[in-house]
Structure 1
């Protein structure tokens, strides 16, 4: 029997419908938005965005599934993806006939939908965020973008998100309180100060949006009552009428029961996804703000544990209905259509100023319900600390054993002090949650996008640096003279070259980030999201203008293990042993290791020390190399610096999503022995099959990275076979190993793929046999069958660990 039990028949039926649903391209939102932008072109941005959301909520198709207990849909059918034309439209038109032919992340599209999108496309020509973003890049920086060295397409083709709003306040106060505060602030404004005129638009927009969400809920209440009139099943009639009662109340009024709380939270979470298609919109510490409702309902007999579990399963199924379509080039960086809607449980809380374990009955219920659903959403994270109870840790390992890549573990002992050192209050630092993949922030107090705009390809940067600042793939000069590998006399020359190169590329990342932020601020304003973030109403500023309490961004670095292995191989083989000259290596790289002599050289480089084996020789090199980037990054500020939020700065992060595959495809041969086009290493994980001595050695290598400086997340994936966890003693070993990684080595994060290589290979040949196969791609999970072949191969090639 399943350790966690089975879905109820109703939720099983709902899940089957969702798994069978064919994702489609939905033009409904795009057509409504186009009409609003035409009619309100002269309005202030905040007012136009508020009216846009109001009209979408008024006119979009709504439905209530026959199995659901909570209402709300993003598109005209579940798993379909709306188009957001205000962000980008050119790629949509270019790829209309390709959506169904993709190698992965396939979307069905009707001829009528193509026609409707083509009809509105002329309005958006040279009139989208993408158009303005590409035009705004300084010419020198745009070269880095065009050549794929610094990639930021996702953030100028969609919204920001990467945050969690204050759902706790929403449930306690209802949207009515946010409207009240906005109205009071509006009434107090002295409009003779032009700055207050700008604020008045924001406050008026909040009032419009709150009323729109209330009316949106009312549409579902009306629909539920209408459905009840013709429903023959009296039990279902009662459910529909209860849904109608709840939707008449929330999210405008405070929630009083668990059902009301879940419905309120869901409708707002959904509306935020309709307002903007920025992904990684997360639920925050759900166990903390929902547990009071659960315990009160149980104590007063309003629910049972099984009914509460069914309700939570219903929420996860609704969460899975949300979908997003990306351009093909962006899709390769986010394979599997991930939304990264993270739920965080466990961790600590402050009780009279002292930290205490925060796990509670809702924490356990979330683990159980997520395990029962066995889906890619939500993205479940457990906050680990030394005092995490053994029985709760064991339950987490049972979820890991289910084989869908969850939960991930983040370490309180590293993250909380790191936040406090950066100026986050102690109370807020103890309330952090995971956002998206492994990024972290304080729910309801953080600005957009706690993770960065840009992915910097470390191995490609090294190749450019050792080619005198010229991109060897295109012949384009990008940097002032950094030296030729052929001319290097010592390994110090390599490190000096790296230091100069990575500092300039870091500077270019900041320029690209700032450009994206600048055009996002000019072109978009997410009113509902900002209103639910502390300090925005008080300051009269949306999140992009500096409204949030905190605003830190982590830029993202790709190919860390390849950089480590490349540096170690050059130091050992070329400059210490002299087995290969710099000129010979340079030629072998240019020729992609082709030929007998070059293959001999490649084998020498492959046999050099490798990251992931607890070898100080290589681990120390990558830490030193990373330090150059981190040191440079500390010099810069984001566009909100000095405008209100605490922070306004950048820090490092390794959440590369699936970028290691496309960025590897665009990277020539590297000194670690990797061939041109092969995937780079993912996150901060070792290169495939380079780690030879088991997970303990991997943990020790990763722990030597400057973890306290990489506040944006140190993403580590490990893969074990299901057979390993069949034995109770091995499950206990995995729990102890995880504890040791955090308690002794001060690791930041780890997550486990529990799947065999044989299963994955069989799924490539017989996908119909593996409809439910889910794998951990990076900081998120995806159904294996929807991934591109290249991403599937990359996952198959990862090292399988034993305990």
Structure 2
């Protein structure tokens, strides 16, 4: 119970939720996550009716049908209107992306080990009735059909995991919310009409542009009509309302929704309603997660400042509105297949909010709204939104102290991303200086320029590094299935030097990287053909100007990354092989290989495992021996991935290329489950190390040593995110001197070591074990899983165990 008590004690620093927001929060936490079939029915209905239309128009008409006919409601506590599904915390089904897993798992949703969803028999019947229509028509069908057999082998064996890319929408971006708030959708309509009118349709190349522009006009009108539905509902609710205060609120809500987001926002409250309506509809349009708010403290501050100056709002009222927005953000939910769920444990939506950083003229960007966002997120204490602070050398101690006070609350926020590493990395890759200084966090730790970046700045396929190493040592054959994947350089049993090991790794990882790009291309091509997002494209520069949606190359920038899983295991494995086999000769390559294939069973296996764990340097302890080996191995992957282009290359955007990324979310658990024993001493089936964090218990020299090890990675080339999780106990941060130490430690990591990212779990191992045994006493316990937070109780036991075993650092 220690973490819960500590959480309650620290809350006073930021104050408490207002009574109405507290009640709203309680309702949401007590709401069962259900499966909603409304969107599935309306989508199927629209696709049937408009089967003859070009796909982009089908997508627009589908969204129009959903927004026109879905259930809407206004909660009695809320000041902001808009719902994603027929009830809060319910997850819609998106049949155009995939239906096979939905039907296969209908009777299993409530029986899951984690991320449970409830579904009625009537809803099951509805889904089974519409499923035949989608046979061979979904994104997943198209994506899998497009994969060459030799590449699909990697997908089927779980070496390269890309399921989320062909069963979900893309997202992983922030649209240009600042422009929407300032200009309103009417501006987008006027620009689109002008571009459509200018098209010369005798040039066949302009036909697709005309469809795109017509689709935008349909969607913009649908958004306005959707807001009008809520305006009318608020007005009707006001007529029935007996409480004069609530009646006035509903009438004001009706007025605002009759205006935004179609027209520009003119007040803080109007801006928040406009922001939420757009963010919500983007979630309804596509089930792509990591749809983020961008630099909210920058684009909302002018509205807040003006309202304060004219006495239209108080700090308390603005705080309540922000907490209301966070509660609405938490209402969004997403159901994934069980295999995909294990890569995203805790049903995360990764809706990131970024504060701090620098202005485009290189000044400290922190303003009063930055503090207010910290305060409101602290009061709400939910897994959503995912709060990120942009750190830079000029960030004040006062703001850092406030950030640490939020960290103390123990719900894994905020994460810190560093301007000192990220901005130069962007500029090196061709991003203009002005745009680089305006980047925001997207989803977990990935970064992009809001409103100008294409999909999946991070989040393409997952590549299992330790499994790749085992295949390299096995002459290109997967040792678990016996499948020959490619030609190797020989078997480990016959190798006589560590150089041969590195040659094997070099050959295999380059070949596997090539196949990961092929799989990515198949997914992206299928998405472009089958599930283009009209509204999301319209609100991203320069799609309207170019007449291209995001998958066709409409964004200003389009850099992406795959995700590499098991970084630490790779480094530790290579160090163990080099030292224990080829230098100290404590056992032969054949003895080690036999121990791996036997999962370290028997006396001999246990002896070898102990040597691997105890007698070789481990990543995370500032030992060049292993850290530089890992860098050398990682550099090979980076060299290879940099050769490839995505499907938008040469079609308009700056970039169109790849870089590396370690934001592996919870993939370390399922990918570990499918990986045999590894040369670092890890047994078969155990989780891999997550992100770029050290393996559990292997980092024994304190947090400074961890930072130094991480800093030796080629950070500027891992622009997709260098995700570092750390864990400390609440007792440590209860002391002022330790909080100051933590601030100094973070400053050193970012200022001197060019660290990219760090985030903290503030919870003791004893608390987590107790929560596992007595979940009913820990309903509000939130933990940092990877680049996101989740309620501990909704996680599978395997993921809970992985978090429990993380190293507790001292300061």
The Cα offsets for residues 475-525 of structure 1, whole Å up to 9 and x where unpaired, read as 000011331010110111111111111111111111111110010001011
Separation in 2 of the partners of 1:599 and 1:135?
A: 45
The Cα offsets for residues 547-586 of structure 1, whole Å up to 9 and x where unpaired, read as 0000000110000000010000010100000111001001
Separation in 2 of the partners of 1:737 and 1:764?
A: 31
Separation in 1 of the partners of 2:277 and 2:130?
A: 29
Shift of residue 449, structure 1, vs aligned partner: 1.1
8 Å CA contact 1:545, 1:643 repeated in 2: yes
8 Å CA contact 1:161, 1:281 repeated in 2: yes
8 Å CA contact 1:452, 1:513 repeated in 2: no
Cross-structure match for 2:500: 493
Separation in 1 of the partners of 2:307 and 2:490?
A: 69
8 Å CA contact 1:71, 1:263 repeated in 2: yes
Shift of residue 125, structure 1, vs aligned partner: 1.1
Separation in 2 of the partners of 1:216 and 1:465?
A: 55
Shift of residue 42, structure 1, vs aligned partner: 1.0
Cross-structure match for 1:714: 722
Cross-structure match for 2:60: 50
Cross-structure match for 1:289: 299
| 1:495-514 mapped onto 2 (5 Å cutoff) | 495-514=502-521
| 1:308-323 mapped onto 2 (5 Å cutoff) | 308-323=318-333
Separation in 2 of the partners of 1:511 and 1:637?
A: 10
The yes-or-no answer on 1:222 pairing with 2:232 is yes
Cross-structure match for 1:254: 264
Separation in 2 of the partners of 1:17 and 1:229?
A: 25
8 Å CA contact 2:23, 2:77 repeated in 1: yes
Separation in 2 of the partners of 1:585 and 1:127?
A: 48
The yes-or-no answer on 1:196 pairing with 2:206 is yes
Shift of residue 46, structure 1, vs aligned partner: 1.1
The yes-or-no answer on 1:521 pairing with 2:537 is no
Q: Tell me, what secondary structure is at the counterpart of 1:126?
A: coil
Separation in 2 of the partners of 1:481 and 1:681?
A: 26
8 Å CA contact 1:453, 1:516 repeated in 2: no
Cross-structure match for 1:572: 579
The yes-or-no answer on 1:82 pairing with 2:89 is no
The Cα offsets for residues 46-66 of structure 1, whole Å up to 9 and x where unpaired, read as 111010000100000000000
Cross-structure match for 2:6: none
| 1:780-791 mapped onto 2 (5 Å cutoff) | 780-791=788-799
Q: Tell me, what secondary structure is at the counterpart of 1:453?
A: coil
Separation in 1 of the partners of 2:680 and 2:488?
A: 24
3, 17, 24: which one aligns with 1:14: 24
Q: Tell me, what secondary structure is at the counterpart of 1:3?
A: coil
Q: Tell me, what secondary structure is at the counterpart of 1:359?
A: coil
**Greater mean alpha carbon deviation, residues 435-444 or residues 227-236:** 227-236
Separation in 2 of the partners of 1:174 and 1:575?
A: 66
Cross-structure match for 2:102: 92
Task: Note the residue ranges of structure 2 that are not aligned, 5 or more in a row.
Answer: 1-8
The Cα offsets for residues 420-478 of structure 1, whole Å up to 9 and x where unpaired, read as 11111110000000000000000000011111320000000000010010000000000
| 1:454-469 mapped onto 2 (5 Å cutoff) | 454-469=461-476
Cross-structure match for 1:794: 802
| 1:768-783 mapped onto 2 (5 Å cutoff) | 768-783=776-791
Cross-structure match for 2:690: 682
Task: Note the residue ranges of structure 1 that are not aligned, 5 or more in a row.
Answer: none
The yes-or-no answer on 1:728 pairing with 2:728 is no
Separation in 2 of the partners of 1:127 and 1:637?
A: 27
8 Å CA contact 1:228, 1:241 repeated in 2: yes
545, 566, 572: which one aligns with 1:559: 566
Instruction: Report the aligned-residue RMSD.
Output: 0.6
Cross-structure match for 1:336: 346
8 Å CA contact 2:172, 2:459 repeated in 1: no
Separation in 1 of the partners of 2:507 and 2:137?
A: 38
Cross-structure match for 2:629: 621
Separation in 2 of the partners of 1:745 and 1:474?
A: 42
The Cα offsets for residues 749-777 of structure 1, whole Å up to 9 and x where unpaired, read as 00000001111101111101000000000
When normalised by structure 2's length, the TM-score is 0.98
| 1:566-645 mapped onto 2 (5 Å cutoff) | 566-607=573-614, 608-645=616-653
Separation in 2 of the partners of 1:798 and 1:481?
A: 35
Separation in 2 of the partners of 1:431 and 1:392?
A: 19
8 Å CA contact 1:129, 1:520 repeated in 2: yes
Cross-structure match for 1:543: 550
Cross-structure match for 2:217: 207
The Cα offsets for residues 604-659 of structure 1, whole Å up to 9 and x where unpaired, read as 00111100000000000000000000000111000000000000000000000000
**Greater mean alpha carbon deviation, residues 619-628 or residues 444-453:** 444-453
Q: Which runs of 4+ in 1 moved over 6 A?
A: none
8 Å CA contact 2:730, 2:764 repeated in 1: yes
Shift of residue 350, structure 1, vs aligned partner: 2.5
Q: Tell me, what secondary structure is at the counterpart of 2:417?
A: strand
Q: Tell me, what secondary structure is at the counterpart of 2:360?
A: strand
Q: Tell me, what secondary structure is at the counterpart of 1:343?
A: strand
Q: Tell me, what secondary structure is at the counterpart of 1:752?
A: strand
Q: Tell me, what secondary structure is at the counterpart of 1:653?
A: coil
Separation in 2 of the partners of 1:221 and 1:554?
A: 41
8 Å CA contact 1:689, 1:799 repeated in 2: yes
366, 371, 384: which one aligns with 2:378: 371
407, 414, 419: which one aligns with 2:414: 407
Q: Tell me, what secondary structure is at the counterpart of 2:180?
A: helix
Aligned length: 800
Shift of residue 132, structure 1, vs aligned partner: 1.0
Shift of residue 676, structure 1, vs aligned partner: 0.3
Q: Tell me, what secondary structure is at the counterpart of 2:558?
A: strand
Separation in 1 of the partners of 2:193 and 2:234?
A: 32
Shift of residue 230, structure 1, vs aligned partner: 1.1
Cross-structure match for 1:63: 73
When normalised by structure 1's length, the TM-score is 0.99
Q: Tell me, what secondary structure is at the counterpart of 1:357?
A: coil
Q: Tell me, what secondary structure is at the counterpart of 2:759?
A: strand
8 Å CA contact 1:458, 1:558 repeated in 2: yes
Q: Tell me, what secondary structure is at the counterpart of 2:167?
A: coil
The Cα offsets for residues 287-329 of structure 1, whole Å up to 9 and x where unpaired, read as 0000000000000000000000000000000000000000000
The Cα offsets for residues 654-705 of structure 1, whole Å up to 9 and x where unpaired, read as 0000000000000000000000000000000000000001100000000000
8 Å CA contact 2:488, 2:504 repeated in 1: no
8 Å CA contact 1:350, 1:356 repeated in 2: yes
Cross-structure match for 2:115: 105
